[in-house]
Amino acid sequence: MSDLRIGVFVCCCGINISAYVDVPAVIEYAKTLPGVVYAEEDIYACSNDGLTKIKKAIKKHKLNRVVVAGCTPRTHESLFQEALEEAGVNKYLFEMANIRDQCSWVHMKEPKKATEKAKDLIRMAAAKTMLLEPGDEPEIEIKQSTLVIGGGVSGVCAAISLADQGFNVIIVEKEPQLGGKMRNFDSLFPHRQKVSEMLESLLQKIQTNPRIQVMTGGKIKSVSGFLGNFTIDVETRTGTESLNVGTIIVAVGADILKPKGLYLYGEDKRVITQSELEEILRAGSVDANRIVMIQCVGSRSAERPYCSRICCNEAVKNAINLTQQDKEVYILYRDLQAYGITYSRLEQEAKQNGVRFLKYQQEKPPKVTAETDGLRINLYSPTVNQDVEVKADLLVLSTPLIPVTDARELSQMLKVPLDSNGFFREAHVKLRPIDFATDGIYVCGTAHSPKDVGESVAQALGVASRAAIQMAKKRVRIAAIMSEVDQTKCSGCGICIDVCAYNAIRKNEKGLAETIAAACKGCGVCGATCPEKAITMHHFTDEQIEAQGLAALMEE
């Protein structure tokens, strides 16, 4: 571009910069750089006065590119970009040189070298600025509807909350009925409320809400699109249906481990899992007098290193229920994880009711022998430093929640990650605990990790509001930092489609790649990978990055 007019604004940041960097010398230097027609010093460039000065200078000197040398773009870039827009310059024609956080503050004892580095950083920024291009931020409309994958307690609660806020919801459940794993359960800790009561009232709300559509027996076949506009193909008994929604909630829940081969499970009818016990309790009473439970069966092991969180409380709750039927109950545990404010009380109650707790060690797990008149369980108790023998009519194994079998398949379709245990992984454990990194897709309940009903519902209400926040905006602007495929260079190899973590590239009718602007996050991986070098990464082009690098190496 021949009529490049770059303005450089060097901020003193009070004295944060000017105490260590010779700002006047830097300004004099900046004026000598190619393309730079104006340079000035600001005490606080980000203050109202400072921004006004910048806007005035842009107009007065007809600047069409701006460099601010000061703090970090991570906090201040958008502020200066707004000023540019107000002065009639596209916000993408802007670059910052971080001469505070990455210069004056870290070289406080070397003012000479800090000044030289500040000059270099400005030279690099100016070099990039020369090659910048204006960017257009596409605006997209957000569909006012949500797909909830999974109709268990989490999915159902999220759906009700969203529908109550005025959004349309479609629940896709792979089983023939809603309710998830909870359907087979008897009662819930800590209050031992009957599951059936809770489920009934929830399902009632679903049936009577006109905004909620339920597709049972449905399987997700493919997902494409982006926040505001997802397309999902669902296979049902009657054929394939295509859905169009603005947001997606993953509430697929978890499976319960069947511990084949452990403690005679699957070989002896008197050995069942805790969830099978729930089913029996739900139907009535247990046909056994002495019941022994073993905790951590298949969890906190090399294969499954995690604690399944709910099993201790579930065992204690069922034990209390059993004592009320005058049963004798033993709980064999490794560590009793009765966390939180209510669960320790539950444990106390169980002890008062006569439930006996026996500790075992992972290295010396209990041994179970089938005998005609019952089961014999031998274990070493570290508490009394002795071998102990217990007889049981029924052995109940507490097994962990495990990821659903199709978790991986679904994660690949959605392009969202799983953790090392195979559960869906959130974007950030503390800052974005129920979002995925991909905008518009959220996770709640046991799809994410083992948790109890209360925790699952809390997350369900959380994702409903996360989705509602996006949809309430109705439209979003997309940053212009995105990839673009040069169709004359593309060979259609599809490698870019494989490496993009956001499904943001598709093949067009000619078999060539094209970016879906609204889905592109601007990481640049596709551009760095394309073997034909057919992809331009806007705002971080090869040329811009190289210009910055070469400018860094230039002698003054």
Partner 1 sequence: MSTFEPNLVGFLCNWCSYAGADLAGVSRIQYPTNLRIIKVMCSGRIEPGMVLELLEAGADGVMVTGCHIGDCHYTSGNLHTMRKFALLQKLLAKTGLEPQRIKLEWNSAAEGQRFANLVREFTDQIRVIGPNPIKAPNPEQRILLNIRAAKEAADGFRLRALVGKEEKLATEGNVYGEKVAQDEFNEVMEQAVETEFQIHRIQLMLRERPRSVKEIAKNLGLNTRLVLNYMVALRQRGWVDIKDAVEGTPLYAAQ
Which residues would be at the binding site for partner 1 (CB under 8 A)?
72-74, 98, 100-103, 105-110, 113-114, 116-117, 120-121, 124, 415-417, 437, 481, 493, 495-496, 498-499, 501-502, 521-525, 527-533, 537, 540, 542, 545-546, 548-550, 552-553
Which is nearer to partner 1, 102 or 216 (by Cβ)?
102
SS3 for 173-202, per residue?
Answer: ECCCCCCHHHHHCCEECCCCEEHHHHHHHH
Binding track, positions 446-485, relative to ligand SF4; x by CB under 6 A: ------------------------------------xx-x
User: Distance between CA 347 and CA 342 in Å, rounded?
Assistant: 9
Least distance in angstroms from the C-beta of 150 to ligand SF4: 27
Token couple for 196: 């059936």
Q: Which does 481 bind (CB under 5 to 8 A by kind): ligand SF4, partner 1, none?
A: partner 1
Look-up of token digits 């307690």: 153
Which is nearer to ligand SF4, 404 or 476 (by Cβ)?
476
Least distance in angstroms from the C-beta of 528 to ligand SF4: 9
Size of the site for ligand SF4 (CB under 6 A): 28
User: Distance between CA 522 and CA 92 in Å, rounded?
Assistant: 14
Nearest to 87 by CA among 122, 119, 51, 121: 51
User: Distance between CA 483 and CA 290 in Å, rounded?
Assistant: 67
Q: Does 379 bind ligand SF4 (CB under 6 A)?
A: no
Which is nearer to partner 1, 96 or 463 (by Cβ)?
96
Least distance in angstroms from the C-beta of 224 to ligand SF4: 13
Extended strands (E) in 163-296? 168-173, 187-188, 193-194, 212-216, 219-226, 229-236, 239-245, 247-250, 254-256, 271-273, 290-294
Taking only Cα atoms into account, the Rg of the chain, rounded to an integer number of angstroms, comes to 31
User: Distance between CA 173 and CA 545 in Å, rounded?
Assistant: 48
Q: Does 135 bind ligand SF4 (CB under 6 A)?
A: no
Q: Which does 437 bind (CB under 5 to 8 A by kind): partner 1, ligand SF4, none?
A: partner 1
Q: Does 505 bind ligand SF4 (CB under 6 A)?
A: yes
**Binding to ligand SF4, residues 531-550 (CB under 6 A):** 532, 534-535
Which is nearer to partner 1, 73 or 179 (by Cβ)?
73
The DSSP result for 351-420, as a single string, is HHTT-EEEE-BTTB--EEEEETTEEEEEEEETTTTEEEEEEESEEEE---EEE-TTHHHHHHHHT--B-T
Strand pairing category for 356-359 and 328-333 = parallel
Q: Are 334 and 360 in contact (CB under 8 A)?
A: yes
Q: Does 243 bind ligand SF4 (CB under 6 A)?
A: no
Nearest to 281 by CA among 343, 336, 345, 327: 327
The interface region with ligand SF4, picked from 71-79, 112-120, 427-435, 488-496 by CB under 6 A, is 488-496
Least distance in angstroms from the C-beta of 276 to partner 1: 36
User: Distance between CA 114 and CA 170 in Å, rounded?
Assistant: 59
Which is nearer to partner 1, 270 or 506 (by Cβ)?
506
Q: Which does 164 bind (CB under 5 to 8 A by kind): ligand SF4, partner 1, none?
A: none
Token couple for 111: 């003012």
Least distance in angstroms from the C-beta of 227 to ligand SF4: 13
Which is nearer to partner 1, 430 or 475 (by Cβ)?
430
The residues binding ligand SF4 (CB under 6 A) are 482-483, 485, 490-496, 499-500, 502, 504-505, 513, 515, 520-526, 530, 532, 534-535
